[in-house]
Amino acid sequence: MSLITRRRAVIAGAVAASVGTRNVLAQGGYPNKQIRMVVPFAPGGTTDLLGRIVAHYLTEQWGQQVIVDNKTGAGGNVGAELVAKAAPDGYTLLLGTVGTAVTNQYLYKTMPYDSLKSFAPVALVGEVANVLAVHPSFPAKTLKEFVDYCKAQGPDKVSYGSPAVGGTGHLAMEYLSELAGIKLEHVVYRGSSLVMKDLLAGHILDTMDNLPPYLQHIQSGALRALGVSSAKRWFAAPDVPTIAEQEFPGFDAAPWWYVAAPAGTPADIVRKLSDEITKGIRSEAVIKKIRETGATELPGGAAALVKQMESENIKWKKVITAAKLEPQ
């Protein structure tokens, strides 16, 4: 059975299983108590900020408090597991990432949940661009020059920094390397701030990482941006060309976020959540708040989220396999 067929079968089963509990809304009205939004990363990062934006919006719309609960660890798996095992009643939600939805299953030997079966897809939220940024001393001013230089130096002779093994920057660079026919040495840091510190000092000469923290340094000339990983030019850096428009048509490695509920959550509750969140993501007030984080809005309901997961699964499974990344 293909991945797409499996996903559709799982979703159909979840809907059928919820038929008997559709009277939840009629009996008490949803929501009639506090909702917990689990964010599987630490406070202050983009995942946390987006979770708080969605939580604040729902609180305002429904008059029931939606609290953010940060549960960190294992690339988001700790928080995702908590939601997967929560009561399927709509009162525990996940603000997930491309990792919890797609890539973690290929990067961890043991998964505490099934990315496919453990959740009811609710809605997309937002995305952000990665940027290929270099120190001014790096002997390349364009993506083509970067690729040519790496080829001339040979495999593993050019290194780059990123915040994590299997993180979005690491995978985006592996994706680029696969398409370009180059092989770079990956230098792993414990966080983007440490990558940026060494990059600004010239201790490393290039990185692939989330764009927002680097933007001020790119604008000041302290760093040079060779391309962004999003399908379109990024709203906050319109002068930086995409990797796709320069050398590799179709290249898209933009990290994204979504909301999901535990599998078995009644269909009416999932639908209400999906409709409300999607409406919010399309509103001017929420778009403004999302863009202030450096991310951009990515509106779409449950069906759009499923489609996103399907296409991203095909892409990242291929990239991770080609890169021969061993599960941790």
Predicted pLDDT at 328: 84
Q: Please give, one letter per residue, the 3-state secondary structure of 259-320.
A: EEEECCCCHHHHHHHHHHHHHHHCCHHHHHHHHHCCCEEEEECHHHHHHHHHHHHHHHHHHH
Given a cut of 80, is residue 25 above it in pLDDT? Answer: no
User: In percent, how much of the chain has pLDDT > 90?
Assistant: 89
Average pLDDT, integer, range 22-48: 82
Domains within the chain, CATH numbers bracketed = 3-128+255-323 (3.40.190.150), 130-246 (3.40.190.10)
Q: What is the pLDDT of residue 28?
A: 59
Query: 153 by DSSP, 3-state: which?
Result: helix
Q: Which of 185, 120, 133, 127 is nearest to 154 (CA)?
A: 185
Q: pLDDT: is 15 or 302 the higher one?
A: 302
H or E element in which residue 4 lies = helix 3-18
Q: How remote is the C-alpha of 114 from its chain's centroid?
A: 18
Query: Span 152-180, mean pLDDT?
Result: 96
Confidence category of residue 21, pLDDT binned at 50, 70, 90: very low
Query: For residue 273, which of 123, 131, 145, 130 has the smallest C-alpha distance?
Result: 123
Average pLDDT score over residue span 5-13: 47
What DSSP string describes 221-249? Answer: TSSEEEEE-SSS--TT-TTSPBHHHHT-T
* 246-259: pLDDT as tens digits: 989 999 999 999 99
* Contact by Cβ (8 Å): 67, 97: no
Is the confidence at residue 17, as pLDDT, over 90? Answer: no
Mean confidence (pLDDT) of the chain: 92
The secondary structure element, H or E, covering residue 66 is: strand 66-70
Q: Which of 66, 57, 5 is nearest to 31 (CA)?
A: 66
* Separation CA 261–CA 259 (nearest Å): 7
Tell me: the pLDDT tens digits for 76-91?
Answer: 999 999 999 999 999 9
pLDDT at 116: 86
Sign of CA dihedral 128, 273, 64, 71: negative
